[in-house]
């Protein structure tokens, strides 16, 4: 099954990605990063331009969220430490972790509508779901007190 078919089989409205600014970006694992640096700004501009033409209530809410991100991006001097995550299902534990670190960017449907080239992107755009064993590894280790 190709990645496009796998994406279509999922409940797409639950998948979101995030833009995470420094210093929180250092806490995102490399496996969860879709892209880093100035490429994020270029994609942001494409998304922003594509949404200018439409005016539904849902898109107005998205435009307001993008306006906040735009203001933050305009303040950035060095884009090297800004990351865009892969897409996470809202029911995953890592979704809530990342939502506290960064700003919600797009749902996967909108992303692929605006940027169809990413349907055949060589790197998977959906994050790997980790089983419970791996999720335990993500947590901070317990530090035993020493006396």
pLDDT tens digits, 78-95: 899 999 999 999 999 999
Any domain includes 46: yes
Whether residue 135 is contained in a domain is answered as no
Helix axes 57-74, 38-51, angle to 10 degrees: 150
Q: Is residue 73 part of a domain?
A: yes
Does residue 39 lie within any of the structural domains? Answer: yes
Parent domain of 64: 15-120
Predicted confidence at residue 137, as pLDDT, reads 47
Residue 93, domain member (yes or no): yes
Which phi and psi (to 5°) does residue 126 adopt? -100, 130
pLDDT band with cut points at 50, 70 and 90 for residue 13: confident
Point out the least confidently predicted range of 7-21, 44-58, 110-124.
Answer: 7-21
Output the pTM of the full model: 0.77
Q: Determine, yes or no, domain membership for 38.
A: yes
Question: What whole-number percentage of the chain has pLDDT above 70?
Answer: 82
Q: Is residue 29 part of a domain?
A: yes
Q: For 58, phi and psi rounded to 5 degrees?
A: -60, -40
CB-facing half-sphere around the CA of 14: CA atoms within 13 A: 12
Report the number of distinct structural domains present in the chain. 1
Residue 136: predicted pLDDT? 45
Residue 4 in this model has a pLDDT that exceeds 90: no
Task: Give the per-residue pLDDT at 8.
Answer: 53
C-alpha span between 124 and 118 (Å, rounded): 9
Give the Cα separation of 145 and 72 in Å (integer).
41
In a domain, 131, yes or no: no
């Amino acid at each position: 099954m190709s990645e496009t078919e796998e994406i279509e089989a999922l409940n797409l409205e639950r998948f979101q990605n995030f833009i995470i600014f420094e210093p929180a970006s250092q806490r995102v694992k490399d496996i969860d990063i879709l892209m880093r640096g100035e490429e994020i700004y270029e994609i942001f501009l494409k998304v922003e331009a594509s949404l200018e033409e439409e005016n539904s209530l849902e898109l107005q809410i998205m435009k307001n969220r993008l306006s906040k991100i735009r203001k933050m991006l305009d303040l950035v001097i060095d884009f090297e430490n800004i990351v865009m995550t892969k897409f996470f299902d809202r029911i995953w534990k890592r979704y809530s972790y990342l939502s506290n670190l960064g700003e919600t960017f797009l749902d996967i449907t909108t992303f692929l509508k605006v940027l169809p080239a990413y349907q055949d992107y060589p790197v998977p755009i959906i994050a790997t779901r980790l089983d419970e064993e791996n999720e335990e590894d993500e947590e901070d280790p317990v530090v035993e007190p020493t006396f």
